[in-house]
């Protein structure tokens, strides 16, 4: 059965049930009120007849002579017609009728069997019984003459006539009910049409099938997806989003910014220029790239948004692996070149038969290399940072640039907001920028300091290069801005700035006989190296 048919039938049932219930209740109450008014009217009329002097005298005559005054019937009939009741019957103490709408019944005993109490006990009451005119509601009233009961009167209306009167009373209400039902049916039809439009003409089974298909597609997509309504509240998410953000059913209906900001390190302010993409650090070691798309209906009205995001952590790991191979190749090449230079020096000294100088040169070379490695390992507990600094040291040596490690450098803990990869990224990019700014004529020098002080991690990188041009200083952190002549790069400082900001730290620089970079990251929590 189609959705439109179901809705129409359902609305019709509700209409008939609700309107029918109201109509039945109203009619019942109206009928009860009508019956009560009728009973009160019959009682008042019976009392009026019992006090009529002509009635009393006719009954007195009947008691004394046994004769019936037939003129009394005309008098009573006038009263009956005036008050619009079915019958008014006056009868004596033996139950013989003196009046009746059907004159043939005058002189015969009262029929119905309910007259005993009024004759024997002089009681006034109301009864419902079968009479010569049919079932009727009757009021009995005793009649006294000089304080002695001489008979009684019965005033009544036939039940069928009461129903007929009520039907006339109810007829306007039936019209109102019919109008209400008609309006309800029209409203149901309009509602059905609107629902069909809103559901694009799809039936519930088709909608359910599409929902299941979309759900299956979303769960098999290797990107996190969150759908929002027009209020920015979460409507649906896939398994990848659940995995990356740790979403639960409790997050359905919550505002998306509430979900993201439950992570202290989250900052939705890394919009990538010229796009709708955002780089978001969800938690230490997990960074996602978000893209927001607006959902529109067939009227081109915005009805929500879709946020899809990729875990950049995995991408960066792959990039690091590729970069690591490149760095390893460069390091090996630099070491090989330096090793050949040292071998040539040793060979020259041997040819000159300067054997003491050969031993001294070899001893100094080994001691220098060992000292650098030992100092780094003793002071910096992170193996990845040590490896990175050694790689940069050999690269600097190959470029004839002096790389000096601050003697106060120490690193045995890192901030909990900073992952090991992010720490390497900050140090590596700053050293790389310093090396790129120097001449390879043997005069270049870079100083590196990694110091833990006052619950803060301080990183300092100083070079004696030409410094940052004035026209680039205000936008040096922007993506694509570089001091290189070939305009290649421009991402290192952008990445460093993003990492530092997400950790709640600070980054600054000073240009004076070169460039000095200062990075400060608070220890909100500590992670073992």
**Residue 267 pLDDT:** 39
Same domain for 401 and 492? yes
Q: If we measure between CA atoms, which residue out of 5, 158, 166 comes closest to residue 86?
A: 158
DSSP state letters, 214-251 = HHHHHHHSSSEEEEEETTSBEEEE-HHHHHHH---GGG
Q: CA 153, CA 270: separation in Å to the nearest integer?
A: 102
Mean pLDDT by 10 residues, the chain (529 residues): 72 77 74 79 92 92 88 92 90 92 90 83 85 76 92 84 59 75 80 75 73 71 82 83 80 72 41 55 68 78 81 60 49 56 67 71 60 71 84 83 88 85 88 88 91 90 91 84 65 84 89 93 72
Same domain for 156 and 21? yes
**Residue 74 pLDDT:** 92
Give φ, ψ of 170 to 5 degrees: -80, -20
Interhelix angle 312-351/420-436, rounded to 10 degrees, is: 50
**Residue 299 pLDDT:** 75
Q: CA 168, CA 186: separation in Å to the nearest integer?
A: 28
Same domain for 285 and 407? no
Which domain does 237 fall in, by range? 223-311
Same domain for 11 and 151? yes
DSSP state letters, 487-522 = -----HHHHHHHHHHHTT-EEEEEESSSEEEEEEEE
Same domain for 264 and 151? no
Q: Mark which of 252, 283, 311 sits at the end of a domain.
A: 311
**Residue 265 pLDDT:** 36
**Residue 337 pLDDT:** 55
Its sign, for the CA torsion 221, 223, 229, 235, is positive
Identify whether 272 is part of a domain.
Answer: yes
Same domain for 146 and 61? yes
Identify whether 101 is part of a domain.
Answer: yes
> Which tokens belong to 77?
């009939």
Task: List Cβ<8 Å contacts ≥24 apart for 68-74.
Answer: 68/96, 68/98, 68/106, 68/107, 69/98, 70/106, 72/98, 72/99, 73/98, 73/99, 73/100, 73/103, 73/106
Prediction pTM value: 0.46
> Which tokens belong to 312?
């950049």
Beta strands at 277-283 and 286-296: parallel, antiparallel or unpaired: antiparallel
Identify whether 228 is part of a domain.
Answer: yes
Q: CA 144, CA 150: separation in Å to the nearest integer?
A: 6
Contact 289, 312 (CB under 8 A): yes
Contact 126, 45 (CB under 8 A): no
Same domain for 101 and 233? no
> Which tokens belong to 79?
């009263």
**Count of domains for the chain:** 3
Identify whether 513 is part of a domain.
Answer: yes
Same domain for 69 and 155? yes
Same domain for 230 and 159? no
Identify whether 357 is part of a domain.
Answer: no
Interhelix angle 3-50/71-83, rounded to 10 degrees, is: 140
Alpha helices in 352-382 (DSSP H): 355-379
Q: If we measure between CA atoms, which residue out of 160, 297, 308, 293 comes closest to residue 224?
A: 308
Which CATH number belongs to the domain containing residue 476 in this structure?
Answer: 3.30.565.10
Q: Mark which of 262, 288, 311 sits at the end of a domain.
A: 311
Same domain for 503 and 400? yes
> Which tokens belong to 91?
């009868």
Q: Mark which of 164, 195, 211 sits at the end of a domain.
A: 164
3-state SS track over 177-198: HHHHHHHHHHHHHHHHHHHHHH
Identify whether 346 is part of a domain.
Answer: no
Its sign, for the CA torsion 394, 400, 401, 406, is positive
Which CATH number belongs to the domain containing residue 248 in this structure?
Answer: 3.30.450.20
Q: Which contiguous run of DSSP H or E holds residue 395?
A: helix 383-398
Provide CB contacts within 8 A for 236, sequence distance 6+.
Answer: 215, 218, 226, 227, 252
Give φ, ψ of 290 to 5 degrees: -100, 145
Same domain for 7 and 153? yes
Identify whether 449 is part of a domain.
Answer: yes
Same domain for 383 and 518? yes
Identify whether 105 is part of a domain.
Answer: yes
């Amino acid at each position: 059965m189609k959705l439109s048919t179901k809705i129409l039938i359902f609305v019709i049932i509700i209409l008939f049930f609700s309107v029918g219930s109201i109509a039945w209740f109203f009619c019942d109450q109206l009928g009860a009120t009508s019956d009560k008014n009728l009973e009160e009217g019959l009682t008042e009329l019976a009392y009026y007849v019992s006090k009529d002097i002509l009635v009393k005298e006719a009954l007195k005559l009947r008691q004394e002579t046994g004769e019936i005054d037939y003129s009394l019937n005309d008098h009573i009939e006038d009263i009956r017609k005036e008050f619009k009741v079915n019958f008014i019957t006056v009868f004596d103490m033996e139950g013989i009728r003196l009046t009746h709408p059907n004159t043939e019944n005058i002189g015969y005993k009262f029929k119905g069997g309910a007259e005993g109490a009024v004759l024997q006990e002089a009681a006034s009451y109301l009864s419902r019984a079968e009479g010569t005119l049919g079932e009727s509601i009757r009021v009995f009233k005793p009649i006294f003459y000089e304080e002695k009961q001489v008979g009684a009167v019965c005033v009544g209306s036939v039940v069928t006539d009461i129903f007929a009167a009520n039907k006339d009373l109810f007829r306007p209400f039936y019209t109102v009910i019919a109008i209400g039902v008609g309006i309800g049916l029209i409203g149901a039809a309009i509602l059905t049409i609107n629902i069909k439009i809103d559901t694009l003409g799809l039936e519930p089974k088709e909608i359910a099938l599409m929902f299941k298909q979309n759900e299956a597609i979303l769960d098999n997509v290797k990107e996190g997806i969150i759908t929002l309504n027009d209020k920015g509240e979460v409507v649906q998410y896939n398994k990848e989003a659940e995995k990356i953000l740790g979403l639960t059913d409790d997050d359905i209906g919550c505002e998306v910014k509430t979900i993201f900001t439950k992570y202290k390190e989250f900052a939705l302010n890394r919009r990538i220029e010229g796009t709708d993409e955002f780089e978001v650090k969800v938690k230490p070691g997990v960074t996602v790239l978000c893209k927001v798309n607006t959902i529109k209906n067939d009227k081109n009205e915005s009805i929500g948004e879709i946020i899809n995001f990729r875990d950049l952590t995995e991408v960066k790991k792959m990039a690091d692996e590729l970069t690591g191979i490149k760095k390893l190749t460069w390091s090996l090449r630099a070491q090989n070149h330096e090793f050949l230079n040292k071998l040539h020096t040793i060979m020259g000294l041997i040819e000159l038969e300067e054997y003491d100088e050969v031993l001294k040169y070899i001893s100094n070379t080994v001691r220098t290399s060992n000292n650098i490695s030992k100092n780094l390992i003793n002071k910096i507990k992170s193996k990845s940072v040590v490896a990175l600094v050694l790689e940069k040291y050999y690269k600097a040596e190959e470029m004839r640039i002096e790389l000096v490690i601050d003697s106060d450098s120490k690193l045995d803990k890192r901030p909990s907001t900073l992952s090991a990869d992010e720490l390497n990224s900050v140090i590596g990019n700053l050293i790389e920028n310093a090396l790129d700014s120097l001449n390879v004529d043997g005069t270049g020098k870079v100083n590196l300091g990694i110091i833990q002080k006052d619950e803060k991690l301080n990183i300092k990188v100083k070079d004696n290069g030409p410094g940052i041009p004035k026209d680039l200083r205000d936008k040096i952190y922007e993506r694509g801005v570089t001091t290189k002549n070939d305009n290649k790069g421009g991402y290192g400082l952008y990445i460093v700035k993003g990492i530092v900001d997400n950790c709640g730290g600070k980054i600054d620089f000073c240009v004076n006989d070169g460039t000095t970079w200062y990075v400060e990251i608070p220890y909100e929590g500590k992670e073992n190296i």
